[in-house]
Amino acid sequence: MATTTREASPPNPPGASTRTRPRWWRRPWILPLGLATVVFLSFSVPPYLTLDPELSRFPIRDDFPLHYPFMVTHIFAGSIVMLAVCLQVWPWLRQNYPAVHRWSGRTYVMIGIPLVGLPSLVLAPLSHSGLGGQVSNTLWGILWLTCTIVGYRMVRQRRYAEHREWMLRSFALIFAIAMNRLWSTAAVITLMPQLDTTFGGDQQMLIMIAGSTSSWLSWVLNLLIVEWWIQYRRRGRRTPSRQKARPAQEDATQPA
């Protein structure tokens, strides 16, 4: 009587990694990122749901009638974009549900570019944080649009490694919106003891300087941290290939 045997799988080559990919709950930053996003949006969005300019957290320019409509569009679309990018940077979702990753990416790009990025360039010169804040917000908007468009082009060309790097930069810039609130609070607290000396009692001037400072800190620091991470991962990818090449070269130099 013939018996069938299952062919044994080949053993792992020397030096091969046997580690499995971590499950979603083993990535410690996923849950805090999602919670932070929900908390931030729960605080930021409600005043604009009534479409009442009097409830705006930011001063509205009377000399530009479309200031509030542009701001509301920017805020509502930005909320969708921030939720979508949380799905984009979730490795477990990308690996296990690539269709969800693709559609969240399309949402991020197709809503973000026309309804978040372009309005930001209109709103930036209207900022009440002075010239420094206006320049910062304009550069911020241009950089986010650039990183997002380049990231989209990379995935269309199937250059996935570059796509991920550019979208990480885009992620850092879009989440600078949330960081800006933290930095602005820190800047006001830091500058408040100087209200009567440096600012001569002018509270509006203090708030303007704090707003300009927080604007620069929020996106510049985010971008620097992500750029460090990208370079760190690049070095990590190059190291194993060099280690594999070294034994091969040593074998080639051994006498027969």
> Which tens digit of pLDDT belongs to each residue from 154-182?
999 999 999 999 999 999 999 999 999 99
Res 237: pLDDT: 74
Reduced to 3 states (helix: H, G, I; strand: E, B; else coil), residue 228 is helix
Q: What is residue 16's predicted lDDT score, i.e. its pLDDT?
A: 40
- Radius of gyration of the chain, Cα coordinates, nearest whole angstrom: 25
Q: CB atoms < 10 A from the CB of 177, how many? A: 23
Tell me what pLDDT residue 247 has. Answer: 52
Highest mean pLDDT among 13-22, 27-36, 37-46, 236-245: 37-46
Residue 185 structure tokens: 């609070």
Beta-carbon contacts of residue 129 (< 8 Å; ≥ 6 apart): 136, 137, 208, 211, 212, 215
Mean pLDDT of the chain: 85
Confidence (pLDDT) at 27? 63
| pLDDT, tens digit, 9 for 90 and up, residues 193-239 | 999 999 999 999 999 999 999 999 999 999 999 999 999 988 877 76
Would you say residue 14 has pLDDT above 50?
no
pTM for this model (two decimals): 0.81
Distance CA(233)–CA(165), nearest Å, equals 10
Residues 6 or more apart in contact with residue 191 via CB below 8 angstroms = 198, 199, 206, 209, 210
Confidence check: pLDDT of 143 > 70: yes
CB 122 within 8 A of CB 134: no
